[in-house]
Amino acid sequence: MHLHIIATGKCRHKPLLELEAEYTKRLPKHWQYQVTELPEAATPQAEAKHQLAAFNKLAKPTVLIALDETGQHLTSPQFAQKLESFQQQGTKSLAILIGGANGLHASIRQQAQLVLAFGKLTFPHQLVRVLVAEQLYRAHTLLTGHPYHRA
Protein backbone atom coordinates (compact mmCIF):
# COMPACT_ATOMS: atom_id res chain seq x y z
CA MET A 1 0.00 0.00 0.00
CA HIS A 2 1.19 3.50 -0.80
CA LEU A 3 0.96 5.76 2.27
CA HIS A 4 0.96 9.44 1.37
CA ILE A 5 1.26 11.88 4.23
CA ILE A 6 0.13 15.34 3.17
CA ALA A 7 1.35 17.70 5.87
CA THR A 8 0.68 21.41 6.02
CA GLY A 9 3.84 23.08 7.27
CA LYS A 10 7.43 21.93 7.24
CA CYS A 11 9.06 19.94 9.99
CA ARG A 12 12.49 21.35 10.77
CA HIS A 13 12.98 19.64 14.12
CA LYS A 14 15.66 17.01 13.58
CA PRO A 15 14.66 14.85 16.59
CA LEU A 16 11.06 14.63 15.33
CA LEU A 17 12.20 13.78 11.80
CA GLU A 18 14.49 11.08 13.21
CA LEU A 19 11.68 9.60 15.28
CA GLU A 20 9.33 9.62 12.27
CA ALA A 21 12.04 7.89 10.23
CA GLU A 22 12.51 5.28 12.96
CA TYR A 23 8.87 4.23 12.73
CA THR A 24 8.68 4.39 8.94
CA LYS A 25 11.72 2.18 8.49
CA ARG A 26 9.91 -0.48 10.56
CA LEU A 27 6.98 -0.54 8.13
CA PRO A 28 6.82 -3.45 5.72
CA LYS A 29 8.42 -2.80 2.34
CA HIS A 30 5.04 -3.02 0.59
CA TRP A 31 3.81 -0.07 2.70
CA GLN A 32 5.57 2.73 0.87
CA TYR A 33 5.63 5.89 3.03
CA GLN A 34 5.94 9.30 1.42
CA VAL A 35 5.57 12.80 2.89
CA THR A 36 4.50 15.89 0.98
CA GLU A 37 4.98 19.13 2.89
CA LEU A 38 2.74 22.02 1.91
CA PRO A 39 3.09 25.71 2.69
CA GLU A 40 1.06 27.17 5.51
CA ALA A 41 -1.48 29.80 4.52
CA ALA A 42 -3.44 32.50 6.33
CA THR A 43 -6.76 30.62 6.33
CA PRO A 44 -8.00 27.02 6.27
CA GLN A 45 -9.68 27.75 2.92
CA ALA A 46 -6.38 28.84 1.37
CA GLU A 47 -4.63 25.77 2.79
CA ALA A 48 -7.42 23.53 1.47
CA LYS A 49 -6.56 24.57 -2.10
CA HIS A 50 -2.98 23.33 -1.64
CA GLN A 51 -4.12 20.20 0.21
CA LEU A 52 -6.68 19.24 -2.46
CA ALA A 53 -4.18 19.94 -5.23
CA ALA A 54 -1.66 17.60 -3.56
CA PHE A 55 -4.33 14.95 -3.03
CA ASN A 56 -5.57 15.22 -6.62
CA LYS A 57 -2.02 14.57 -7.92
CA LEU A 58 -2.08 11.10 -6.35
CA ALA A 59 -3.05 8.06 -8.39
CA LYS A 60 -6.72 7.22 -8.05
CA PRO A 61 -8.37 5.63 -6.29
CA THR A 62 -6.75 6.93 -3.12
CA VAL A 63 -8.55 6.86 0.22
CA LEU A 64 -8.35 10.16 2.08
CA ILE A 65 -8.07 10.19 5.87
CA ALA A 66 -8.25 13.69 7.34
CA LEU A 67 -6.91 14.31 10.82
CA ASP A 68 -9.14 16.79 12.61
CA GLU A 69 -10.18 17.46 16.19
CA THR A 70 -13.83 16.87 15.17
CA GLY A 71 -13.06 13.39 13.85
CA GLN A 72 -13.77 9.94 15.20
CA HIS A 73 -11.89 8.73 18.24
CA LEU A 74 -10.62 5.23 17.46
CA THR A 75 -8.50 2.88 19.49
CA SER A 76 -5.33 1.62 17.87
CA PRO A 77 -6.94 -1.79 17.15
CA GLN A 78 -9.94 -0.04 15.57
CA PHE A 79 -7.60 2.05 13.40
CA ALA A 80 -5.79 -1.12 12.34
CA GLN A 81 -9.15 -2.69 11.45
CA LYS A 82 -10.02 0.37 9.32
CA LEU A 83 -6.75 0.01 7.44
CA GLU A 84 -7.37 -3.70 6.97
CA SER A 85 -10.89 -2.95 5.72
CA PHE A 86 -9.52 -0.47 3.18
CA GLN A 87 -7.00 -3.08 2.01
CA GLN A 88 -9.69 -5.76 1.71
CA GLN A 89 -11.70 -3.37 -0.45
CA GLY A 90 -8.72 -3.20 -2.82
CA THR A 91 -7.27 0.11 -1.66
CA LYS A 92 -3.69 0.41 -2.80
CA SER A 93 -3.17 4.08 -1.96
CA LEU A 94 -3.98 5.95 1.22
CA ALA A 95 -3.50 9.66 1.94
CA ILE A 96 -3.42 10.98 5.49
CA LEU A 97 -3.88 14.72 5.59
CA ILE A 98 -2.46 16.75 8.47
CA GLY A 99 -3.67 20.31 8.64
CA GLY A 100 -1.75 23.34 9.82
CA ALA A 101 -2.30 25.60 12.80
CA ASN A 102 -5.60 26.87 11.37
CA GLY A 103 -7.24 23.45 11.24
CA LEU A 104 -8.96 21.88 8.24
CA HIS A 105 -11.49 23.50 5.98
CA ALA A 106 -14.92 21.84 5.81
CA SER A 107 -14.29 20.86 2.15
CA ILE A 108 -11.47 18.55 3.25
CA ARG A 109 -13.57 16.89 5.94
CA GLN A 110 -16.41 16.39 3.44
CA GLN A 111 -14.16 14.73 0.87
CA ALA A 112 -12.44 12.40 3.34
CA GLN A 113 -13.54 8.77 3.66
CA LEU A 114 -12.49 8.94 7.31
CA VAL A 115 -12.10 11.95 9.59
CA LEU A 116 -9.97 10.91 12.53
CA ALA A 117 -9.00 12.65 15.77
CA PHE A 118 -5.97 11.73 17.86
CA GLY A 119 -7.85 12.71 20.99
CA LYS A 120 -9.29 15.95 22.23
CA LEU A 121 -5.92 17.61 22.71
CA THR A 122 -4.32 19.86 20.12
CA PHE A 123 -0.89 18.82 18.86
CA PRO A 124 1.63 20.66 16.67
CA HIS A 125 1.54 19.33 13.11
CA GLN A 126 5.21 18.28 13.33
CA LEU A 127 4.43 16.02 16.28
CA VAL A 128 1.35 14.62 14.54
CA ARG A 129 3.61 13.30 11.78
CA VAL A 130 5.41 11.20 14.40
CA LEU A 131 2.08 10.03 15.83
CA VAL A 132 0.87 9.03 12.35
CA ALA A 133 4.05 7.07 11.63
CA GLU A 134 3.86 5.31 14.99
CA GLN A 135 0.17 4.46 14.60
CA LEU A 136 0.76 3.07 11.11
CA TYR A 137 3.54 0.89 12.48
CA ARG A 138 1.33 -0.14 15.41
CA ALA A 139 -1.50 -0.99 12.98
CA HIS A 140 0.88 -3.18 10.99
CA THR A 141 1.99 -5.01 14.13
CA LEU A 142 -1.62 -5.54 15.21
CA LEU A 143 -2.56 -6.91 11.80
CA THR A 144 0.40 -9.30 11.74
CA GLY A 145 0.23 -10.47 15.36
CA HIS A 146 3.53 -8.84 16.35
CA PRO A 147 3.87 -8.28 20.13
CA TYR A 148 4.65 -4.50 19.84
CA HIS A 149 1.09 -3.56 20.84
CA ARG A 150 0.22 -4.64 24.34
CA ALA A 151 -3.39 -4.39 25.42
pLDDT in tens, 25-52: 999 999 999 999 999 999 999 999 999 9
Closest C-alpha to 133, from 14, 12, 13, 18: 18
- Bridge-partner residues for 36, per DSSP? 6
Q: What's the average model confidence in pLDDT over 15-22?
A: 97
CB-based contacts of 128: which residues, under 8 Å, 6+ apart?
7, 67, 98, 118
Tell me how far apart the terminal alpha carbons of the chain are, to the nearest angstrom: 26
- Bridge-partner residues for 96, per DSSP? 5, 65
Q: Which domains does the chain have, with CATH numbers?
A: 2-142 (3.40.1280.10)
pLDDT in tens, 108-137: 999 999 999 998 888 898 999 999 999 999
